[in-house]
Amino acid sequence: MDLIERAFKELYPDREYIYRSKLKYSGKFAPYNANIRISGFYNLEMKLSKSWHGIDKEIIIGLIQDLLLKVAGGKNGAIKSTLNIKLYNNFIKNLHLGINKDKIDPFLKRSFDRVNEQFFSNQIETPNLVWGSFSKRKLGCYNFHTDTISMSKIFLEQDIELLDYVMYHEILHKSLKFRVSNGKHAYHTSDFRKAEKSYPNGELFEKRLRNLSSKVKKKSIFAWFSQ
């Protein structure tokens, strides 16, 4: 019995396993990423990042079960939560402990330090801090798999108060992690929302972000016609 079949049978004990499964490791994925696909005549293929090589098989089974819930559904007798899924989620939550912090932009580091000192009593470990693209939709992001906060280059043209507000949002993700319920991951939990609303003048900053997105959109349209 391979890992995929075992993961399926433990997750769906009342369902027959009718798939031809294949598990591959790929160098094309970002660290600790994976995907699963059901196609053709009951072909079930899973591809994992090479960073999963050497990780305990019980954690790998939890990863497979987590993905199965997304493609095969949480109904029809699914257990929805297994010991392996809990092991996998705990592994992801603690990945930051073993990740190198060697991509730290000085400008973003100053923002992180300001927010960390003011709101987290300097208790949050510095993650990787990088600039993303010049995006108006994805202003900031925290990646659990690489312990990285990335920020839109839009903030290179804005005041630091607005940057710090978005930095606070991303540090909250790093600090509060996520909660899993019925096979679904919740990142903006009630605790997260409560902490987010506690930011001084948060509503004003939210309004500024909405206006910023609108201005950037108009700017990009006019730039298009001027080229």
Give the pLDDT confidence of 95-107 residue by residue, as tens digits.
999 999 999 999 9
The single residue listed with the structure tokens 């031809």 is: 20
pLDDT over 90 percentage in the chain = 74
Domain boundary pick from 74, 93, 112? 93
Domain co-membership, 212 together with 176: yes
Domain co-membership, 111 together with 85: no
Domain co-membership, 16 together with 88: yes
Range of the domain at 218: 99-226
Q: Which amino acid is residue 126, in one-letter code?
A: T
Output the pLDDT for position 76.
Answer: 60
Q: Please tell me the pTM assigned to this model.
A: 0.83
Which residue has better confidence, 63 or 213? 63
DSSP bridge pairs for 49: 26
Give how many domains the chain has, as a whole number.
Answer: 2
Output the pLDDT for position 25.
Answer: 94
What is the spatial distance between Cα 54 and Cα 212, in angstroms, rounded to a whole number?
A: 45
Domain co-membership, 87 together with 104: no
pLDDT tens, residue by residue, 215-227: 655 443 333 332 2
Domain co-membership, 36 together with 118: no
Q: Using alpha carbons, list the distances in angstroms from residue 24 to 9, 20, 37, 47, 100.
A: 20, 14, 12, 5, 26
Domain boundary pick from 71, 93, 115? 93
Lateral strand order in the sheet of 148-151:
128-131, 148-151, 140-143
Concatenating the DSSP letter of every residue in 142-182 gives: EETTTTEEEE-GGGGGS-HHHHHHHHHHHHHHHHH--EEET
What are the backbone dihedrals phi and psi of residue 34, each rounded to the nearest 5 degrees, phi first? -165, 160
pLDDT tens, residue by residue, 146-192: 999 999 999 998 889 999 999 999 999 999 999 987 777 889 999 99
- CATH number for the domain including 116? 3.30.2010.10
Domain co-membership, 103 together with 87: no
Scored b (16 or more CB within 10 A) or e, 21-44 reads: bebeeeeebeebbbebeeeeeeeb
pLDDT tens, residue by residue, 196-212: 999 999 999 999 998 88
Q: DSSP 3-state assignment of 70?
A: helix
Output the pLDDT for position 196.
Answer: 95
pLDDT tens, residue by residue, 10-46: 999 888 899 999 999 999 999 999 999 988 788 999 9
Q: Share the mean pLDDT of the chain.
A: 89
